[in-house]
C-alpha cells in the first residue's frame, strides 16, 4: 500500500467516525436522563446495526494505521536506544510483538461488535 492510500484511508475513516460519534452523542444529549426504553429502541433500529457494523471495520482500520505510524515512529532502535541500548537492539522484535498485539486486539473488537449487534 502506498503512503497516500494510508493517508487518505486514515482521514476518510476519521470523518466517518466523527459523524458516527456526533450521531450517537446527539442521541445521548437529547435523551437526558437516559432510560432503557429510549436506548433499546434506538439500538434496535436497523440503521444502528448497520452503522455500528461499519463502525467496527472503520475504527479498526483507522486504529491500525495510527498504531502502525506510532510503532514506526517510536519503536525504533533510535528511540528505544535512548531508554537503553540493549533494548534498542531488539526494536524490530518489540515492534513486531506490538503490531501482533494490536492486530489480534482489533480482530477481537470486530468479532465482539458483530456478536453484540447481530446475536
Partner 1 sequence: MSTNGNRARPVYINLLQIKLPASAISSITHRLAGIYIFFITLPLSLFLLYFTTKSNNNFMLISDLFKDSILLSTFVSFSFLVFAYHILTGVRHLLQDMHIGESLQASRVSSYIVFFLWFALVATAVWRIYL
Per CB under 8 A, residues contacting partner 1 are 11, 14-15, 18, 21, 36, 39-40, 43, 59, 63, 66-67, 70, 78-79, 81-82, 85, 88, 102, 105-106, 109, 112-113, 116
Q: Which is nearer to partner 1, 96 or 101 (CB)?
A: 101
Q: Which is nearer to partner 1, 11 or 96 (CB)?
A: 11
25 Ramachandran zone, left/alpha/beta (phi>0; psi -120 to 50):
alpha
Smallest separation, CB 18 to partner 1 (Å): 7
Q: Is the peptide bond before 49 cis (omega within 30 degrees of 0)?
A: no
Smallest separation, CB 1 to partner 1 (Å): 19
- Distance spanning both ends of the chain, measured CA to CA: 34
36: helix, coil or strand? helix
Smallest separation, CB 91 to partner 1 (Å): 11
Q: Which is nearer to partner 1, 3 or 78 (CB)?
A: 78
Burial of 16 (0-12, 13-18, 19+ CB in 10 A): middle
Amino acid at each position: 500500500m502506498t503512503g497516500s492510500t494510508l493517508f487518505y484511508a486514515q482521514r476518510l475513516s476519521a470523518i466517518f467516525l466523527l459523524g458516527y460519534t456526533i450521531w450517537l452523542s446527539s442521541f445521548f444529549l437529547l435523551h437526558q436522563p437516559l432510560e432503557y426504553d429510549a436506548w433499546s429502541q434506538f439500538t434496535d433500529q436497523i440503521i444502528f446495526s448497520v452503522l455500528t457494523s461499519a463502525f467496527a471495520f472503520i475504527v479498526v482500520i483507522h486504529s491500525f494505521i495510527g498504531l502502525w505510524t506510532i510503532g514506526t515512529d517510536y519503536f525504533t532502535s533510535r528511540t528505544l536506544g535512548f531508554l537503553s541500548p540493549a533494548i534498542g537492539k531488539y526494536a524490530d522484535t518489540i515492534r513486531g510483538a506490538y503490531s501482533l498485539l494490536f492486530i489480534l486486539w482489533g480482530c477481537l473488537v470486530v468479532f465482539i461488535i458483530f456478536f453484540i449487534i447481530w446475536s
